[in-house]
Structure 1
Amino acid sequence: MEIIDITAPFSPEMLSWPGQEPPSHEFLAHQRQGDPNTVSWWQTGGHAGTHVDAPLHFIPNGAGIEALDLRRSIGPCRVLDLSHVEGHVGRDDLEAAEIAGDQRLLLKTRNSGDDLMRRGEFEEGYVAVSREAAEYLIEAGVETLGVDYLSVEPFEDAEFGEGEFRTHHALLKAGVTLLEGLVLTEVEPGEYFLACLPLKLVGSDGSPARAVLIRGLNI
């Protein structure tokens, strides 16, 4: 059995969305200072690094992350190679990939080839999912979608206070679970078992998560 960690390292130096503070970390006690134990204190946003979006993120009165059906983020999945796509993932790209029947789908794009999730600098030109592609994912019956950058949304539609967030609205309204910030650089396309667990943060619109892919798992 092979376990592949697809989680971005979580630290104050990690990649963060423009205008959002990265996580902060301090020690309330430390054995190096003569304390009997070491105790960390973290402050972070719900959408830092590898994370899961709750419907509440964009849907008024939507469910918080604590209500996530964990069957959405645990189970067989497909990693789809879209590294050839220029611009954003479109409907035609997904139609050509024959995704019908893929309940959990992770998109490996040029973002992974450039290892963008492990760079400290934000890249506005990341590959995202177009609204038309989102609509096709819904039609195809995809229930869980994973992407290899901080957002499924094209940057030009995701500027706070200006953008329309059309991709998020379409997917979350349709009940699609969104896993964002996955590190797929070393992952080969194919079939895996996915396990991605967010924290059970009551009333939160999202949560950091630990995500792994497992190959050769016999259940």
Structure 2
Amino acid sequence: MPTVIDISPPVGPGTPVFPGDTAYAQTWVARIGPGCPVNVSAITTTPHAGAHADAPLHYDPQGASIGAVALEPYLGLCRVVHAIGVRPLVQWHHVCHALPDEATLPARVLVRTYAHMPADRWDPALTAFDPELLERLADRGVKLVGIDTASIDPADSKTLDSHQVIRRRDMRVLENLCLDAVPEGDYELIALPLKLMTADASPVRAVLRTLD
């Protein structure tokens, strides 16, 4: 039977977000007690907390909201590639060992850069993607890329060059994946965004299933 691997970091109070973004907070609207049969909470958070899918609207003023994008890129065969310890940018030579030129690639590529993802703290020196890497992946038919850091661009970038490649090549992106326990190889990815019709991103419960 296939094994399910959860690649979503926990989300709750203390979950790191980009400086200045909205941290996770939860309040109780109702609690179980006399006259009330249920617990009901309200949450406030950036949609970029934890594992999440960026919408084109995040980096393109005319882009689609996350609720309007097709779901196919977020579901299907993917390849996990290790580039552990690489900084500041993952470049082609860091990942080409797992992406041979003569082979057909899965439409989804996820890159692990951390030995242990810092799920409880903000990393200002996060590893990002070299835009040229994304161009080469798009040329090979890749429709979705994912990374275990908070952004595919450096945290201090003002031009968001990698996000602009994603925009121009009509690719999709997952960020803040937790790939600590995932060996290199091929898996089935399931990471569906919520149907948030005006949002620039959505949390996802990202999982991999082994192919055996």
Q: Is the 8 A contact 2:26 2:44 kept in 1?
A: yes
Alignment of 1:194-213 (within 5 A): 194-213=189-208
For residue 142 of structure 1, what is the amino acid of its counterpart? V
Q: Is the 8 A contact 1:94 1:133 kept in 2?
A: no
- The CA RMSD measured in Å over matched residues stands at 1.8
Q: How many Å apart are 1:81 and its aligned residue? A: 1.2
Rounded Cα–Cα distance in structure 1 between residues aligned with 2:91 and 2:175: 18
For residue 194 of structure 1, what is the amino acid of its counterpart? L
Determine if the alignment matches structure 1 residue 88 to structure 2 residue 92: no
Segments of 5+ residues of structure 1 without an aligned counterpart are: 158-162
Rounded Cα–Cα distance in structure 2 between residues aligned with 1:45 and 1:6: 19
Q: How many Å apart are 1:92 and its aligned residue? A: 2.7
Alignment of 1:1-219 (within 5 A): 1-31=2-32, 35-83=36-84, 85-98=86-99, 101-109=105-113, 111=114, 113-116=115-118, 118-119=119-120, 121-157=121-157, 163-216=158-211
Q: For residues 103 and 26 of structure 1, do their structure 2 counterparts lie closer, same or farther at Cα, with a shift above 3 Å needed?
A: same
Q: Is the 8 A contact 1:134 1:167 kept in 2?
A: yes
Q: How many Å apart are 1:33 and its aligned residue? A: 7.5
Q: How many Å apart are 1:148 and its aligned residue? A: 0.2
Q: How many Å apart are 1:153 and its aligned residue? A: 0.8
Rounded Cα–Cα distance in structure 2 between residues aligned with 1:6 and 1:92: 25
Return the TM-score normalized by structure 2.
Answer: 0.91
Q: Which SS does the other structure have where 1:155 is aligned?
A: coil
**Count of residues in correspondence between the two structures:** 208
For residue 153 of structure 1, what is the amino acid of its counterpart? D
Return the TM-score normalized by structure 1.
Answer: 0.88
Q: Deviations over 1:14-41 (max 9, x none)?
A: 1111111211101101115863210011
Q: Which SS does the other structure have where 2:38 is aligned?
A: coil
Rounded Cα–Cα distance in structure 2 between residues aligned with 1:174 and 1:189: 26
For residue 162 of structure 2, what is the amino acid of its counterpart? T
Rounded Cα–Cα distance in structure 2 between residues aligned with 1:184 and 1:75: 17
Q: How many Å apart are 1:8 and its aligned residue? A: 1.3
Rounded Cα–Cα distance in structure 2 between residues aligned with 1:68 and 1:138: 18
Q: How many Å apart are 1:54 and its aligned residue? A: 0.8
For residue 17 of structure 1, what is the amino acid of its counterpart? F
Rounded Cα–Cα distance in structure 1 between residues aligned with 2:156 and 2:133: 16
Q: How many Å apart are 1:93 and its aligned residue? A: 2.4
For residue 135 of structure 1, what is the amino acid of its counterpart? E
Rounded Cα–Cα distance in structure 2 between residues aligned with 1:148 and 1:198: 17
Q: Which SS does the other structure have where 1:202 is aligned?
A: coil
Rounded Cα–Cα distance in structure 2 between residues aligned with 1:147 and 1:6: 11
Segments of 5+ residues of structure 2 without an aligned counterpart are: none
Q: How many Å apart are 1:84 and its aligned residue? A: 5.1
Rounded Cα–Cα distance in structure 2 between residues aligned with 1:7 and 1:56: 23
Q: How many Å apart are 1:115 and its aligned residue? A: 2.0
Q: Percent identity?
A: 33
Whose helix fraction is larger, Structure 1's or Structure 2's? 1
Q: For residues 195 and 53 of structure 1, do their structure 2 counterparts lie closer, same or farther at Cα, with a shift above 3 Å needed?
A: same
Q: How many Å apart are 1:96 and its aligned residue? A: 4.2
